[in-house]
């Protein structure tokens, strides 16, 4: 089976977030970027597990500038076979999905995997958009996937529970916690990653329909009110009268 | 012109998120001077309830095919209804299924789409500015949607459902559908509790609980309040609590009215999923716990003494109100 895993980079959660003085752009200088955890821990590792089980090839795909080759190499070190980078700086989920679809159209992937969302913008839309461009079924928030021939049985997270479904290849699936166990790249993987193929593809023309106009910083929290641990009636009173929460 | 709001239901019953979506859509429709049309796929006996929150027209296709969630079948149906009704804005809930449909619809209808909106958009002419919380709550992104058709998925608990005089018409419609490629085998949901993403009151506990055998005091507090329980990641990882209770960056992101964090240190990855809560109470024995900085109310001390005391205070309060 041939697997395509879409990966993206995202600021580390602990990164300090700031914007330009006109609030139009995000200050990326000095920000530590990582491979988006859902893409890495769940989507990529699941594809590698399936390949180990069933044979085939795992390709990773990133839409982004040259800098992103660092996270692409990490994906190769974890165990992907080859990679493609579509060379543009996307401003929207739709742009990402569109570019990947242009690339994937000419290939025959049996399964396209990606994380359930990125941890910076939490859009959670690329998978569905990609599936729509390719006219494929899409399963979101998969937390378990087993193959039987060309039919996958997938458990997906829904509000307050899970849904179990079946779908035949080819399809697109987004991965949530539970799908696979995180793998740490070892020295051999890191060395081998250096010689794996990384193809660079020019983007197709695309016009964005929704882009960030400006950013704001969140409202400052007023400082915490400490309550005497002996006096929980006081906390309940404040929650009722002041916070109007109960 | 119209605003189309797609309504999710569970076996014909609407949840609070459905009424939030209708309220949101109807407020925008009023501002745009157009009608608010609610679409329900699958059978329901409660259709006219949607009129209580401002829907002018309720469309329903009760075909049994919709008891099986296949995003292709669903999105084709919604797109057809959107086209037939000249919808220039589509509102969905920011749920597992809602986000899946939003992505497909945006490609199908060449519509700019923003998921996770947390307040009403700013409308000027044909453009719309939609805000959402980004970077784990450390920023707000304001998007401009420029396309003729626009799609917004609404984050739960972002607007209060508002009742209005009901003058809605209910119409049943037929939508041609193709054979689904996805077959749903089973759906398991916790009975009797409000799912976390929809809960207004959440009682959450972390490693400070020492072990799963101590969770009785958390459940007592939650049941006294009518709250849903949640936990930190190490607690779910150690199987002290079920995986669906895990909140944070790698778990569920929530924004309840009240989040009570008990024996949770407040690591940034935890805060990422909860810091949009309207009111945060932190109970922790360590005065330096980072969570106090994100809290509205703090109680510093031993949770094993404080939590039962709080439960009692809640019970006393409920009796006198
Ligand atoms: C990439 C990544 C993603 C992550 N995603 C998540 C996520 O989604 N959600 C999440 O929760 N974590 C996540 N984490 C883990 C996170 O960094 C913290 O390790 C975790 O949240 C800590 O859980 P905790 O607060 O329950 O435990 P601890 O950090 O061990 O805190 C326990 C707290 O309990 C207090 N305490 C102990 N005994 C008592 C007592 N008797 N009375 C009162 N207070 C007491 C202590 O003072 C302490 O503050 C992630 C980490 C990484 C690296």
Pair of tokens at residue B23: 């309220």
Interface pTM, i.e. ipTM? 0.95
Work out the number of other CB atoms within 10 angstroms of the CB of residue A240: 14
Cis peptide bond prior to A170, omega within 30° of 0: yes
Instruction: Report the Cα–Cα distance between both ends of chain A, in Å, rounded.
Output: 54
Residue B292 near chain A (CB below 8 Å): yes
Instruction: Give B-chain residues touching A141 at CB under 8 angstroms.
Output: 96
Cα R_g (chain A), whole angstroms: 21
Residue B95: the pLDDT is 94
β-sheet bridge partners, residue B92: B153
CATH fold for domain A2-216: Rossmann fold (3.40.50)
Averages of pLDDT over each 10 residues, chain A, 246 residues: 97 92 94 96 98 98 97 98 97 97 96 96 96 98 97 94 96 96 95 97 97 92 92 97 94
Domain boundaries, chain B: 2-172, 196-320
Whole-number Å distance between alpha carbons of B151 and A132: 15
Residue A221: the pLDDT is 77
CB pairs under 8 A between A and B: 271
CATH fold for domain B2-172: Rossmann fold (3.40.50)
Note down pLDDT in tens along chain B; length 321 residues.
999 999 999 999 999 999 999 999 999 999 999 999 999 999 999 999 999 999 999 999 999 999 999 999 999 999 999 999 999 999 999 999 999 999 999 999 999 999 999 999 999 988 999 999 999 888 999 999 999 999 999 999 899 999 999 999 999 999 999 999 999 999 998 777 788 988 999 999 999 999 999 999 999 999 999 999 999 999 999 999 998 899 998 888 898 999 999 999 999 999 999 998 999 999 999 999 999 999 999 999 999 999 999 999 999 999 998
Residue A17: the pLDDT is 93
Residue B79: the pLDDT is 98
Contacts of B321 (CB under 8 A, 6+ apart): A240
Give the side-chain half-sphere CA count within 13 A for B70. 24
Report whether A84 contacts A198 (CB < 8 A).
yes
Backbone φ, ψ for residue A85 (5° rounding): -120, 125
Residue A160 near chain B (CB below 8 Å): yes
Residue B191: the pLDDT is 74
Same-fold call for B2-172 versus B196-320? yes
Whole-number Å distance between alpha carbons of B1 and B109: 15
Asked whether B253 lines ligand 1 (CB < 6 A), one says no
Residue A163 near chain B (CB below 8 Å): yes
Pick among 3.40.50.1220, 1.20.1250.20, 3.40.50.10260, 1.10.287.10: CATH of B196-320: 3.40.50.1220
DSSP per-residue letters across chain A: -EEEEE--EEE-TTS---B-TTSSSB--TTPPEEE-HIIIIIIIHHHHHHHHHH--EEEEEEES-GGGHHHHHHHHHHT-SEEEEE-S---SHHHHHHHHHHHHHTS--SEEEEES--TTT----HHHHHHHHHT--EEEEEEEEEEETTEEEEEEEETTEEEEEEEESSEEEEE-TTSS------HHHHHHHTTS-EEEEPPPP---SEEEEEEEPPPPPPPPEEE-TT-HHHHHHHHHHTS---
* Protein residue closest via CA to atom 30 of ligand 1: B207
Starting at the edge strand found earlier in the chain, the sheet holding A161-168 runs: A198-201, A82-86, A57-63, A2-6, A111-115, A171-175, A138-148, A151-158, A161-168, B182-189
Contact B133 A19 (CB under 8 A): no
Residue B195: the pLDDT is 86
What integer best gives the mean pLDDT of chain B? 96
Ligand 1 atom with least separation from CA of B235: 26
DSSP label of B204: E
CA of A172 to the centre of ligand 1 (A): 34
Return the closest-CA partner of residue B8 out of B76, B111, B56, B78: B78
Domain boundaries, chain A: 2-216
The pTM score is: 0.93
């Amino acid at each position: 089976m041939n697997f395509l895993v879409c990966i993206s980079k995202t600021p580390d959660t602990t990164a300090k977030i700031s914007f330009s003085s006109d609030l139009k752009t995000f200050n990326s200088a000095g920000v530590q970027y990582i491979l988006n955890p859902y893409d890495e821990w769940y989507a990529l590792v699941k594809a590698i597990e399936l390949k180990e089980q069933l044979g085939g090839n795992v390709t990773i795909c990133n839409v982004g500038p040259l800098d992103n080759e660092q996270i692409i190499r990490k994906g190769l070190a974890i165990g992907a076979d080859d990679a493609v980078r579509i060379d543009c700086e996307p401003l929207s989920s739709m742009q990402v999905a569109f570019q990947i679809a242009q690339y994937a159209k000419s290939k025959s992937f049996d399964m396209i995997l990606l994380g359930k969302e990125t941890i910076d913008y939490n859009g959670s839309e690329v998978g569905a958009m990609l599936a729509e461009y390719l006219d494929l079924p899409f399963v979101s928030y998969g937390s378990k996937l087993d193959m039987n021939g060309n039919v996958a049985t997938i458990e997906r997270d829904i509000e307050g529970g899970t849904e179990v479904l079946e779908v035949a290849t080819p399809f697109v699936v987004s991965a949530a916690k539970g799908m696979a166990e995180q793998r740490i790249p070892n020295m051999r993987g890191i060395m081998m990653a250096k010689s794996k193929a990384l193809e660079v593809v020019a983007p197709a023309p695309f016009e964005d329909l929704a882009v960030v106009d400006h950013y704001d910083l969140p409202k400052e929290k007023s400082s915490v009110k400490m309550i005497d641990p002996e006096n929980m009636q006081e906390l309940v009173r404040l929650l009722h009268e002041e916070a109007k929460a109960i | 012109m119209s605003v189309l709001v797609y309504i999710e239901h569970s076996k014909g019953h609407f949840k609070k998120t459905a009424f939030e979506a209708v309220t949101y859509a109807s407020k925008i429709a009023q501002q745009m001077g157009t009608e608010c049309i609610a679409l329900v796929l699958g059978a329901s006996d409660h259709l006219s309830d949607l009129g209580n929150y401002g829907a002018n027209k309720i469309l329903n296709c009760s075909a049994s095919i919709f008891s099986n969630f296949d995003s292709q079948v669903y999105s084709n149906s919604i797109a057809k209804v959107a086209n037939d009704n000249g919808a220039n804005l589509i509102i969905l809930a920011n749920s597992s299924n809602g986000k899946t449909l939003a992505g497909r619809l945006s490609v199908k209808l060449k519509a700019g789409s923003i998921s996770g909106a947390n307040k009403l958009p700013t409308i000027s002419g044909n453009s719309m500015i939609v805000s959402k919380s980004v970077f784990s709550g450390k920023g707000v992104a304001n998007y401009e949607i420029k396309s003729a058709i626009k799609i917004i998925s609404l984050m739960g608990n972002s607007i209060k459902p508002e009742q209005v005089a009901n003058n809605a018409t209910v119409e049943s419609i037929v939508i041609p559908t193709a054979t689904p490629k996805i077959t749903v085998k089973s759906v398991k949901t916790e009975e009797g509790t409000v799912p976390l993403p929809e809960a207004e009151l959440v009682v959450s506990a972390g490693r400070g609980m020492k072990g799963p055998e101590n969770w009785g005091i958390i459940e007592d507090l939650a049941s006294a309040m009518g709250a849903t329980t949640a936990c930190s990641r190490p607690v779910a990882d150690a199987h002290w609590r079920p995986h669906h209770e895990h909140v944070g960056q790698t778990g569920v992101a929530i924004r309840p009215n009240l989040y009570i964090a008990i024996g949770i240190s407040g690591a940034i990855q935890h805060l990422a999923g909860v810091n949009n809560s309207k009111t945060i109470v932190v109970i922790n024995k360590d005065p330096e716990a980072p969570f106090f900085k994100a809290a509205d109310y703090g109680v510093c001390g031993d949770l094993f003494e404080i939590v039962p005391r709080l439960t009692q205070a809640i019970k006393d309060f409920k009796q006198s109100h």
